[in-house]
Amino acid sequence: MGYHVEIDKKSGFCSGVIQAIRCAEKALEGNKKVYSLGAIVHNNEELRRLQEKGLNIIRHTDLPTLPKDATVLVRAHGEPPSTYAQIEQHGLHLLECTCPVVLKLQKKIKQEHTRIKPHNGQIILFGKKGHAEVVGLIGQVGGDALVIENETDVNSLVFTGGPVSLFSQTTKNPEHYKATAHQLRKTITSRGLDPSLLTVFNTICAQVDNRHEELAHFARNRSLILFVAGKESSNGKVLFQTCKSANPRSYAIENPEGISQKWFRSGDTVGVCGATSTPLWLMEQVAETVRNMP
């Protein structure tokens, strides 16, 4: 039938993921074994490619079982201090691949906790509970932080009357974060506390922040969107909703096998885009599959 297909040039790996994958590939040269603490990227297709090069995905409980001098990769999401202590305790080599943006945020949360704790202060983190980045962030303060996932969660917070510092996981939706910060300020005021107690830190990665507006523009200007991302990608879920809001004919797939011909109409202009954990080569495979469709 012949569809016009275009890949969003601004989609795909963010700089933090690119750095982590380059870090892993360099360490894997010469058939060296590298153990990644959790999936280095939330994309099964890219994971398979790296595993074929010798990357092993492990859990924290596997650390004591690794051979001495084994190389353990800390991925872009980051880890709490307890993980580094374990790596050292078991005599393992650390391969530090934490995203610089996440490292900066970890440091900031720790500094802010030190500043406000003597004044009965509280750290609140807008993020996905249990997400690797979130675990690493609250680990910086020994778990002394409250995690909220949406505006509704604000209602269940108990305030101590001291300063409140709000941070966001780096890959969250900027508009949702603004709405949550607004709700938090309203709730603090409604409970008779001074709203100036709240400090909101802009900690969403600039690449992610810009991507929402760019992705919405891309989706609006195509008749059909194929959004490529792994099911485990938190950022993928967020960005797909941006696509879906801009263009109801947006479909989430993990690979070319997920494409259904039922979605297409004659003369469609097809846009292919993805999450910060989606490799360009995979989006190219999806685009080529559509171009070759009968």
Q: Which of 45, 133, 151, 288 is catalytic?
A: 133
Distance CA(259)–CA(88), nearest Å, equals 46
The two three-digit tokens of residue 220, written as one number: 């609006």
- CA 31/CA 53 separation, integer angstroms: 7
- The Cα–Cα gap between 266 and 179 comes to 40
144: buried, middle or exposed (CB in 10 Å: 19+, 13-18, 0-12)?
exposed
Contact 15, 207 (CB under 8 A): yes
Residues 286, 272: Cα–Cα separation, whole Å: 7
Whether 133 is catalytic:
yes
Both structure tokens of 18: 């690119």
Q: Is 120 left (phi over 0), alpha (psi -120 to 50) or beta?
A: left
Q: Which residues are catalytic?
A: 133
